[in-house]
Amino acid sequence: MSDRSGIFAGDDPFILAQKWLAEAEKTEPNDPNAIALATVDAAGLPNVRMVLLKEIEADAFIFYTNYESAKGQELNASGRAAFVMHWKSLRRQIRVRGLISHEEGPKADAYFASRSLKSRLGAWASRQSRPLTSRSALMAEVARVTALHGLNPPRPPFWGGFRLVPLEIEFWADGPFRLHDRFRWARHSAAENWDITRLNP
Ligand X SMILES: Cc1cc2nc3c(=O)[nH]c(=O)nc-3n(C[C@H](O)[C@H](O)[C@H](O)COP(=O)(O)O)c2cc1C
| Binding residues for ligand X (CB under 6 A) | 31, 34, 47, 49-52, 63-66, 69-71, 128-129
The minimum distance between CB 118 and ligand X, in angstroms, equals 15
CB of 28 or CB of 168, closer to ligand X:
28
CB of 161 or CB of 166, closer to ligand X:
161
Query: Are the C-beta atoms of residues 128 and 62 closer than 8 Å to each other?
Result: no
Query: Are the C-beta atoms of residues 162 and 102 closer than 8 Å to each other?
Result: yes
d(CA 50, CA 86): 11
The minimum distance between CB 187 and ligand X, in angstroms, equals 27
d(CA 136, CA 148): 18
Q: 120, 155, 178, 187: which one is catalytic?
A: 178
The minimum distance between CB 144 and ligand X, in angstroms, equals 21
The minimum distance between CB 170 and ligand X, in angstroms, equals 21
d(CA 22, CA 77): 33
CB of 63 or CB of 185, closer to ligand X:
63
**Active-site residue flag, 115:** no
Nearest to 61 by CA among 23, 89, 92, 35: 35
Cβ-based neighbours of 159, under 8 Å, separated by 6 or more: 64, 65, 66, 67, 112, 123, 124
d(CA 167, CA 13): 11
d(CA 168, CA 182): 13
CB of 51 or CB of 173, closer to ligand X:
51
Catalytic site positions = 178
